[in-house]
Amino acid sequence: MTESPASNGGRPARDLPPVTERELAARARGLSSAYIPGGDDPELERTKRAEARYMRLLIGMVLLIVGTGLIVSLVGLALAAGVGS
């Protein structure tokens, strides 16, 4: 869908030329824009193990942060209520 000259301030829409090598290569292959091609991971099992490790680490860090905040809050409330003295 192209813009009419009135919809963008009276100026006609410009089709800008590609500026990067990737865009030039994509245009040479007949594509309208550059893209990043996907592929299969050559070491899928190793990648899955690493991702599982990072997920466990992430969950542990979240639990540590939330748990520390809970403990500090409870200690602060207890001290403010005079339970600690």
Closest CA to 35 of 53, 45, 23, 47: 23
Of residues 79 and 27, which shows the higher confidence score? 79
The answer to whether 5 and 11 are in contact (CB under 8 A) is yes
Tell me which residue range forms the domain holding 54.
42-85
Question: Looking at the domain assignment, is residue 17 inside a domain?
Answer: no
Q: Give the distance from CA 50 to its chain's centroid.
A: 19
Question: Looking at the domain assignment, is residue 6 inside a domain?
Answer: no
Q: Which residue has the tokens 């520390």?
A: 68
The answer to whether 34 and 22 are in contact (CB under 8 A) is yes
The identity of residue 51, as a single letter, is E
Question: Looking at the domain assignment, is residue 9 inside a domain?
Answer: no
What pTM does this model have? 0.50
pLDDT at 82: 84
Q: Give the distance from CA 8 to its chain's centroid.
A: 32
Average pLDDT, the chain: 81
Question: Looking at the domain assignment, is residue 54 inside a domain?
Answer: yes
77 has pLDDT over 90: yes
Of residues 24 and 85, which shows the higher confidence score? 24
pLDDT digits (tens, 9 = 90+) for 54-76: 999 999 999 999 999 999 999 99
16 has pLDDT over 70: no
Q: How many domains does the chain have?
A: 1
